[in-house]
């Protein structure tokens, strides 16, 4: 917890405010511990920053923030638009305590049609380039995969890896079930395949009806030439496309791209529902929940809904593609926001707050979905809050706000000593904080020694916090009974940390769920909570998440090592042949997927050796 700034620090801040210029820019407030409190942008730095230090503060929360300001920094920009872009970048990267923050550790996915001579369609995350064609973004991965399935059914584009495509002589199963036209085996003319690729691109851009009309003309032409087999194939593609268009009940004739953003705020919690329309097709929606809402009040005449919408748009679009139309249920009172978005994407962005027709139906559905998602979260969070309060009371912690409780939980995972890893998961603000999870590779110990592994990970985690007890979690949860607690106590005693933070979870009789016991390191008697205890349910949730995170990391590490060693174990496959195989097929999995004929095409691999490699990997 940061304390109020001293008198000398407040005087220095007041002097810094007086020296600010009447120019646009970004300001940053810091507390006495140099923790970033708030990032804001201003058309006029003097007027905006000085407004915080008036005698009548706009709200109690802002007054609390102002009392902690010990230092400020400013950056002058050429315009308010530049200030907005810089502010959004700083909020996304630095996570200030009093800003509304949308944490999204994954970028939105795209569908990519590669720019190769024989293009393939793939699921893609990351930055876009000009070598390939990108369609999206999509609200979630399932929407991308569903669209890829449509393209396979209607246009029969290839999805295989390049290493597989280059080395096939016969078509794969996808050709047999009419999900690919077999370009790998030359079963379709190159020009005809490129035409299918262009039709698929037009479909994704909203030209579904044009594509359907062309397919119908093509079927009629085949029938006139008595090419009945080809006509039947085109007929099947027409039927598949027609079914897609019938299923897409939210289709619009305009074919335009649009995002629909609905904001709902209740009980100081907010939900933003983002729905995406691309090429006239409604791709689905995604509910997003901002953080730090407990530190936000209505300010500068803006409602909470307006502040949330403005924060979402600035942070969501700051480094992503922006559609021409953004449909919202609340209009942000900031002309610089739309100007900044238009300047960034190079085309005019239309903000529509009172849509008509189909767009109004989209917005109503997005708002309804936001209300449902928020209601679900509020129901869960109230139950979770009661469990957190019960844990605070049981542990006797001096915490007034349950939202501040921080728990770090550890687990060790290995397979008979192989690929040993430790996990650390974090529970804070009454939810698991996935972005703060960490894995630790365990080295230099006897394989399978869980006590030594726990000692190593706790030392690595907390030795850097020696002398900074205020940065330690309130509870350090270890999966294990007296033995693991004793090891954790030894580490904390050596580092000088409070033993009262350590809690072990000992399994009950017969290792039955619900019979666990909490074991303490500071001499307190163990707590047998009972299977109906809300505290035990919370502890079990955190412990199970630590176990899940540890075991998935261990399995990935183990499988990677085993796959790599499988090639090394094959007699007759030395370093040079391994290198050639991996260069040809891309990975050990690619080698395993290759046929004997494909393997024999690699330089230095005879058919006999190819058969050996195939047998060893299957």
Q: Do 354 and 292 reside in the same domain of the chain?
A: yes
pLDDT tens by residue, 146-173 = 888 888 888 889 998 888 888 888 888 8
pLDDT tens by residue, 348-357 = 888 888 888 8
Domain boundary residue among 375, 394, 423? 375
Q: Do 138 and 216 reside in the same domain of the chain?
A: yes
pLDDT over 60 (residue 297): yes
pLDDT of residue 490: 95
Q: Do 359 and 419 reside in the same domain of the chain?
A: no
Q: Do 545 and 585 reside in the same domain of the chain?
A: no
Q: In what order do the strands lie in the sheet with 269-278?
A: 281-288, 269-278, 258-266, 325-328, 350-352
pLDDT over 90 (residue 553): no
pLDDT over 50 (residue 249): no
Shortest CA distance to 553 belongs to which of 460, 422, 433?
422
Judge whether 394 lies within some domain.
no
Q: Do 409 and 509 reside in the same domain of the chain?
A: yes
Helix (H, G, I), strand (E, B) or coil at 415: strand
Which range in 27-36, 207-216, 344-353 is most confidently predicted, on average pLDDT?
A: 27-36
Q: Do 410 and 541 reside in the same domain of the chain?
A: yes
The size of the chain, in residues, is 618
Q: Three-state SS string across 373-384, please?
A: HHHHHHHHHHHH
Q: Do 32 and 71 reside in the same domain of the chain?
A: yes
Judge whether 169 lies within some domain.
yes
Neighbours of 440 (CB within 10 A): 20
Looking from the CA of 73 toward its CB, the CA atoms found within 13 Å total 12
Confidence bin at 493 (pLDDT 50/70/90): very high
Domain boundary residue among 555, 577, 593? 555
Q: In what order do the strands lie in the sheet with 133-135?
A: 121-124, 110-113, 133-135
Domain count, the chain: 5
The Cα–Cα gap between 352 and 331 comes to 8
Domain boundary residue among 187, 213, 247? 247
Judge whether 602 lies within some domain.
yes
Judge whether 583 lies within some domain.
yes
Q: Which residue has the tokens 């079927």?
A: 219
Given a contact cutoff of 8 angstroms between Cβ atoms, the answer to whether 577 and 442 are in contact is no
Judge whether 107 lies within some domain.
no
Task: State the residue range of the domain holding 175.
Answer: 112-247
| Mean local confidence (pLDDT), 212-220 | 77
The Cα–Cα gap between 148 and 112 comes to 10
Q: Do 37 and 151 reside in the same domain of the chain?
A: no
What CATH number does the domain containing 370 carry?
3.30.420.340
pLDDT over 90 (residue 392): yes
- Predicted TM-score (pTM) of the model is 0.60
Indicate the range of 102-116, 202-216, 325-339 predicted with least confidence: 202-216
Q: Do 86 and 117 reside in the same domain of the chain?
A: no
pLDDT over 90 (residue 367): yes
Q: Do 410 and 550 reside in the same domain of the chain?
A: yes
Judge whether 485 lies within some domain.
yes
Confidence bin at 16 (pLDDT 50/70/90): very high
Q: Do 79 and 136 reside in the same domain of the chain?
A: no
Please state at what angle helix 534-568 crosses helix 575-585, rounded to 10 degrees: 120
The Cα–Cα gap between 306 and 334 comes to 10
pLDDT of residue 495: 94
pLDDT tens by residue, 572-615 = 788 788 788 877 777 777 787 788 888 888 888 888 888 888 87
Specify burial of residue 195 (Cβ count, 10 A radius: 0-12, 13-18, 19+).
middle
Q: Do 176 and 293 reside in the same domain of the chain?
A: no
Beta strands in 279-398 (DSSP E): 281-288, 325-328, 350-352
DSSP state of 494: H
Judge whether 105 lies within some domain.
no
pLDDT over 90 (residue 388): yes
Give the mean pLDDT of the chain.
83
In angstroms, what CA-CA distances link 310 with 174, 261, 287, 353?
46, 11, 16, 13
Judge whether 223 lies within some domain.
yes
Given a contact cutoff of 8 angstroms between Cβ atoms, the answer to whether 440 and 422 are in contact is yes
What CATH number does the domain containing 609 carry?
1.10.150.20
Percent of the chain at pLDDT exceeding 70: 88
């Amino acid at each position: 917890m940061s304390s109020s700034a001293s008198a000398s620090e407040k005087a220095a801040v007041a002097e810094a405010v007086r020296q600010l210029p009447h120019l646009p820019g970004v300001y940053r407030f810091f507390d006495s511990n140099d923790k970033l409190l708030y990032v804001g942008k201003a058309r006029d730095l003097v007027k905006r920053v000085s407004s915080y230090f008036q005698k009548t503060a706009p709200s109690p929360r802002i007054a609390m923030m102002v009392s902690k300001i010990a230092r400020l920094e400013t950056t002058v920009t050429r315009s308010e638009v530049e200030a907005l872009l810089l502010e959004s970048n700083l909020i996304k990267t630095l996570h200030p305590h009093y800003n509304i923050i949308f944490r999204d550790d994954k970028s939105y996915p795209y569908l990519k049609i590669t720019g190769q001579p024989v293009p393939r369609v793939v699921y893609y995350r990351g930055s876009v380039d000009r070598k390939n064609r990108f369609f999206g973004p999509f609200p979630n991965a399932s929407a991308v995969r569903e669209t890829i399935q449509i393209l396979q059914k209607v246009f029969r584009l290839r999805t295989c890896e390049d290493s597989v495509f280059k080395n096939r002589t016969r078509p794969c199963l996808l050709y047999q079930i009419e999900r690919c036209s077999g370009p790998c085996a030359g079963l379709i003319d190159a020009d005809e395949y490129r035409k299918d690729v262009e039709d698929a691109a037009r479909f994704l851009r909203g030209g579904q009806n044009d594509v359907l009309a062309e397919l119908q003309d093509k079927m009629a032409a085949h029938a006139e030439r008595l090419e009945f087999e080809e006509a039947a194939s085109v007929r099947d593609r027409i039927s598949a496309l027609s079914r897609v268009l019938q299923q897409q009940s939210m289709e619009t004739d305009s074919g335009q791209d649009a995002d629909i953003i609905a904001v709902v705020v209740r009980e100081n919690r907010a939900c933003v529902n983002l729905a995406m329309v691309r090429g006239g097709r409604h791709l689905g929606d995604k509910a997003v929940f901002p953080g730090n809402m407990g530190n936000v009040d209505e300010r500068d005449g803006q409602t909470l809904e307006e502040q949330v919408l403005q924060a979402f748009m600035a942070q969501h679009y700051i480094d992503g593609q922006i559609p021409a139309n953004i449909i919202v249920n609340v209009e942000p009172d900031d002309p610089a926001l739309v100007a900044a978005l238009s300047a960034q994407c190079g085309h005019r962005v239309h903000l529509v707050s009172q849509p008509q027709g189909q767009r109004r139906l989209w917005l109503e559905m997005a708002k309804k979905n936001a209300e449902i998602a928020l209601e679900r979260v509020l129901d869960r969070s109230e139950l979770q809050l009661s469990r957190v309060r019960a844990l605070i009371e049981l542990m006797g912690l001096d915490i007034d706000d349950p939202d501040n409780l921080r728990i770090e939980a550890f687990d060790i995972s290995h397979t008979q000593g192989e690929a040993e890893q430790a996990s650390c998961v974090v529970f804070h603000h009454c939810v698991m904080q996935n972005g703060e999870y960490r894995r630790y590779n365990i080295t230099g110990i006897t394989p399978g020694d869980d006590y030594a592994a726990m000692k190593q990970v706790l030392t690595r985690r907390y030795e850097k916090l020696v002398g900074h007890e205020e940065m330690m979690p309130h509870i350090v949860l270890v999966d294990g009974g007296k033995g693991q607690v004793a090891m954790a106590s030894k580490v904390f005693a050596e580092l000088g940390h409070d033993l009262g933070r350590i809690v072990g979870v000992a399994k009950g009789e017969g290792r039955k769920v619900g019979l666990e016991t909490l074991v303490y390191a500071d001499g307190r008697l163990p707590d047998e909570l009972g299977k109906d205890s809300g505290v035990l349910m919370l502890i079990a949730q955190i412990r199970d998440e630590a176990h899940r995170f540890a075991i998935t990391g261990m399995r990935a590490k183990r499988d990677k090592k085993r796959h790599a060693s499988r090639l090394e174990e094959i007699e007759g496959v030395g370093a040079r042949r391994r290198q050639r195989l991996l260069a040809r097929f891309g990975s050990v999995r690619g080698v395993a997927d290759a046929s004997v004929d494909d393997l024999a095409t690699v330089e230095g691999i005879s058919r006999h050796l190819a058969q050996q490699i195939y047998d060893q990997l299957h």
